[in-house]
Amino acid sequence: MKKSKNGKPDKLSKDAYFEKLAPLQLELNDVARWLQHTGKRLLVLIEGRDTAGKGGVITAMSETLNPRQCHTVALAKPSEREATQWYFQRYVSHLPAAGEIVLFDRSWYNRAGVERVMGFCSEDETRAFLKQAPVFEKMLVDDGILLFKYWLTVDQVHQEERFTERLADPLKRWKLSPIDLQARKKYAEYGLARDAMLKATHKPATPWTLVDFNDQRRGRLTLIRHLIDHIPERRVPEKRIKFPPLDHAPLREEFGTSLKPIKAAD
């Protein structure tokens, strides 16, 4: 791996990244076909600090998959009614059915992270969550769900760079929220909450995998490679589709109304 003058690996270029991503996306499609063929269910939790790169890796995983099969879940804060329910209840309806993939952009682990650090839940509620989460997840895997939990690691210097980039880019500014501004001051507190979460919920049947996302492109490739390598045998016979020739010359799309398509811009 090529290193820069300071001895650290150079960030992966965009061209090199897409060259390495393409074959991984083909393998993800193999996984999707295997899930449909076997009726297995795949659930992936993507967790990490603000700006770690959760949305980017989820896009890389899902953009070439059938959106009817692969679902991304990014829940807003609980409604008044949801706030009175069992904590895990609003997540249950989003769990995968046979043949499906569900990617959680943050998950029930909000309780052990942002909710705890920002004071949105009590310490008693946090302790109850850390006790219940392994039990809940064990029930999922015992029922046959393939569960993967990833924490994306990012140093504060890179987090600050990404906050600044979001502030400067109108297309990324929507990612900033008032909570982000407060969370910037609590980098160490988030680290302590993360360690407590990992200690309580890293179990043999439902382990965590930490992935270095200081270089987001390398991080995406590493995470996807890990996921693929830990899926059981995923090859299924591929159905060959052959289109018979048309029995007439290709037709133009004509309209029997006064409506006409907009012309493409030059």
For the beta carbon of residue 124, count every other beta carbon within 10 angstroms: 8
Residue length of the chain: 266
CATH number assigned to the domain comprising residue 45: 3.40.50.300
| 106, part of any domain | yes
Tokens of 16: 């090199």
| 4, part of any domain | no
The DSSP-derived string for 198-257 is HHHH--SSS-EEEEE-SSHHHHHHHHHHHHHHTS-----PPPPP-PPPPSSPPPP---SS
Please give the tally of structural domains in the chain.
1
Strand pairing category for 41-48 and 145-153: parallel
| 264, part of any domain | no
Residues of the chain with pLDDT under 70: 1-9
| 1, part of any domain | no
| 54, part of any domain | yes
| 6, part of any domain | no
Alpha helices in 39-81 (DSSP H): 54-62
| 251, part of any domain | no
The β-bridge partners of 151 are: 47, 210
The answer to whether 147 and 130 are in contact (CB under 8 A) is no
The β-bridge partners of 208 are: 149
* pTM assigned to the model: 0.91
CB burial class (10 A; 0-12, 13-18, 19+) of residue 255? Answer: exposed
What is the C-alpha separation between 82 and 90, in angstroms, rounded?
A: 7
Per the structure, the complete domain to which residue 140 belongs is given by 14-229
| 34, part of any domain | yes
